[in-house]
Structures are given as C-alpha cells and as structure tokens.
Structure 1
Amino acid sequence: MVNWFWKRAPQRRTLKLRSRGEASGTTRVDFAELAPELNRFLGQAAYLQLGYFETLSRGIRGTQELARKEALSRAAGAALDKHRGIVQVIAERGDDPTQVMLPFRENLDEFRRKTIGERQEETLLAVYLTAGMLDDFYLALAGSYGETGERVAAILRQDDRGGEIVSIIQETIESDDEWRSLLSMWGRRLVGDTLLVCRDALRPGRLVADDQRIEPVYTELMGAHARRMDAMGLAS
C-alpha cells in the first residue's frame, strides 16, 4: 500500500468521495489541509480532460468501424466539453490556462502513456476506469474551493458518455472469454498508477505517515473501481 500523508493537522475538514452514479453510501474522511492551491487543482483537472480527449480522438482514427467511430466521437466530445469548461473557469479568474496547465503536462502525459494498451480495447477501458476514479477524487477536492469548486464540480458531473465505451467493452468480452480475462487483468493493473495521480494532486510538502487517515480514501476509490468493473462483467 502506498503511504501519502501530511506533516501537520491543525485544522480538519471533511472530504467526500462520491461513487459515480450513487446518491448515498459515500465515505466521509477527515483530513488535515491537503487540498492544493487552486491553480494546481484547476491545472491538473483541465489537463486530464484534454488528455482523455486526445486519447479518444486517436481511437477514432485507429478504427475503421463507423459505429465505433461515432461512439468514440461522442465520448471524446464529452471530455473536450469538460476541458473547455474548466479552462473557462481559469480564464475568468484572469489566468492563462496554458500556463496553469503546463507544470502538470509531463507527469500526466507519462500517466497517459502508461495506461495506453497494446490494443484499442485496453486503452478504452483505461480511459473509462481512470476517468471514473479521478473524477471522483477531483469532485472530493472541489469542495475546498467555494464557488469556484462548485463550478468545477458541476463540470465534472456532466455526462462523460462513458456508456459508449462500456458498450464497446461489453461487446468485446461477450465475443471471446480470452478478452474477458485480458481486460480484467488490465483493469486491475490501472489502480496503482491512478492512485499515484491522486497523490500528486494533493498539496506538496504535507505528506507524513498516517495510514489510518488515508486508508478510507483508497478503500472508497478502489470500491468504486470494482463496481465499475463488475458492472461490465469483468472480475475486479
């Protein structure tokens, strides 16, 4: 298990992780002040959505099947809409969105490279699962930023057209049990790298050893991940 924690805890607040599609059953965890400064939060959130748009757009070019092209175009458009929404928030604050995102480009591009599979189906599964985990996490952090956080949360809650990807994955695994086994294993491998992105989203310099405080966050994120896997018919 990864250890990420904070050096001081003079104040506590409540961070809520929401499982996608669920109205209740969330876990509330008290933290020290972990939330990064606002532009760090906005820059990472905006660049992540841009990365998903780029990956899905490449998927469109990489398939000859018209129905799949259309499905991926809808999912890519949803990611681009989220990116544009967060960029607008940044611009309205008087900042240059490119400069706000730039410090996170290298690390997030590396994350994207790690989650691109040898086959398109692996990459699509990675987009769906990692976007789900990270949207949940950034929704939790958004509660730290008042009205601006509320705007970003509303953007992140927009329909990501993930159902388009789920349909492709389900058709794939129903056609061949070897695909089911392969994608189940791939889905499990994504968790560690995604949790590291969550770690990097937090305020630098606040990490101390405190497993009991952070453990519920991991538990909830991985629980939501397992539910997404199970809903697609993949063993988690």
Structure 2
Amino acid sequence: MTESSPTPASGNDRIAFDDPDYRAAVVDLLAVISYGELVAFERLAEDAKSAPSLAAKVDLATMAAAEFENALRLNQRLSELGADPYEAMEPFREPLNAFHAHTAPADWLESLVKAYVGDGLARDFYAEIAAFLDVDSRDLILSALERTQHSDFVVEHVRAAIAADPRVGGRLALWGRRLMGEALTQAQGIAAERDALSALLAGGVDRPGMDLAALGRMFSRLTERHAYRMAELGLAH
C-alpha cells in the first residue's frame, strides 16, 4: 500500500472499509488514541519541569517526544482515511480532559505511577479493540502503543522512593487502585457512548464480535495486567 492510499491492502479489509460504520469506528479509535497521546505529551513535558535530576528530566522529555510523534503518525492515518484529524479528536477532548483533571497527581511520584498504571491500562484497552481492525490500522496502533511504554524508568524511580521511605508505598498503592477504577470507568464510557465503537465490538462485516462473556474476559485481562504493573512497581499490597 502506498503511503497516501486510504484503502487497506487485503480484500477483506477493503470490504470492511466499504462499511461506513466500520470506517467510523476506526476513525474514532485512532482519534481517541491520538488525543490521548497528545495529552500524555503535555503531561510528561510538564512533569519534566519538576524532575529531581537532569537525567530524569531528559528521560521524561524523551517519553514526551515519543508521545507527540505517535500523535502525528495517527493523525496522518486519519487523513489517509479521509478524516480531518482535529475534527475526529474533538469529541474526546472533554471526556479525556475531565479524566485527567479528576486524576491530577499530587506530586512527581504520583505522576510517574499515573504514566505507568493509568496510561498502561488505556494502552491495554485500545490494544484489545485494535484486534478487531484491519491489518494496517491495527499494526499502526499496536506500534504506537508499544513505543510509549515507560516501564524501566518508572519502576526504577518508584521502587527507589519506596526503599527510601516505605510509607510512600501505601500512598502510591491507594493511588494506583484509584487510577484503575477511574480508567476502567472511562474506558467503558468511551466504548458505550460511541456508537461506532460499540458496533465494532458487537461484530459486523464478517468480523466476529464480543458477547457479554467475552467482554467480561477482556476486562478480567485488563485487571490482571494492572495487577502485574502494580507488582512491578512494588505496590502489590
């Protein structure tokens, strides 16, 4: 496929894009992820200002740059599909901004946990939905999500803070649990409120959907991955 072509390569994917509901679902998913990447860029750039060392400042700035590059790549894909990236992102500004305002970190450590736990849960959720997409869109989304995992840097700093003051662990564990609840609520809300995404999960255009049992298993997987991240941070208890 050439870079400017809006049509996926395979025959099945061309059939899928003939369905306006499927195209709308892809546009919605690319747009919400793109806006999420843009907001993550802004947050990480702001967090870099309060980093405790020059090395940490550079690490956070590097993460922010990766988030911004992802937003640009996703917006390019939206343009290839004939959508205006800014119009496509607009419906997600208010709910995502409200989520981040409601989960504003109290300090630098909480911002790190949010980047690792909260953003990690969002990545898992979008990756689950991406499994229902055409190859080109799915690969782009998964590539973007993989490039913005901040595990080594965050784990190192959070574990060091807990080792220096074990009381920090209890506070951050509560924060991680709160992020889990808020993020799941947001994910469910986005899936339910966007008709195209709901239809995508339900199936169509020769693509299998998810019944209630499958949805339950998906959220169980999200919960398990969250528990794994918390354990990685030393916040399992």
TM-score, length of structure 1 as denominator length? 0.77
Q: What secondary structure does 2:132 align onto?
A: coil
Q: How many residues end up aligned between the 2 structures? A: 203
Counterpart CA distance in 2 for 1:34 and 1:148 is: 12
Assess, with a 3 A threshold, how the Cα gap between structure 1 residues 224 and 35 changes in structure 2: closer, same or farther: farther
Assess, with a 3 A threshold, how the Cα gap between structure 1 residues 177 and 58 changes in structure 2: closer, same or farther: same
Please say if 1:73 is aligned against 2:26: no
Amino-acid identity (%) = 27
Which runs of structure 1 show a deviation greater than 3 angstroms over 4 or more consecutive aligned residues?
A: 33-36, 203-207, 210-213
Q: What secondary structure does 2:147 align onto?
A: coil
Q: Which residues of 2 match residues 86-235 of structure 1 at below 5 A? A: 86-146=74-134, 147-202=136-191, 204=193, 212-235=213-236
Counterpart CA distance in 2 for 1:36 and 1:157 is: 24
Q: What secondary structure does 1:37 align onto?
A: helix
Unaligned runs of 5+ in 2: 1-20, 200-210
Q: What secondary structure does 2:90 align onto?
A: helix
Structure 1 residue 63: deviation in Å? 3.2
Counterpart CA distance in 1 for 2:73 and 2:103 is: 25
Counterpart CA distance in 2 for 1:95 and 1:110 is: 25
Structure 1 residue 42: deviation in Å? 1.2
Which structure has the highest strand share of the two? 1
Aligned to 2:73: 85
Counterpart CA distance in 1 for 2:212 and 2:189 is: 17
Which structure has the highest helix share of the two? 2
Structure 1 residue 65: deviation in Å? 2.3
Q: What secondary structure does 1:184 align onto?
A: helix
Structure 1 residue 197: deviation in Å? 2.2
TM-score, length of structure 2 as denominator length? 0.77
Structure 1 residue 94: deviation in Å? 2.6
Structure 1 residue 107: deviation in Å? 0.4
Pairwise CA RMSD of aligned residues? 2.5
Q: Which is greater in Rg?
A: 2
Of structures 1 and 2, the one with the larger relative CO (CA 8 A, separation 6+) is: 1
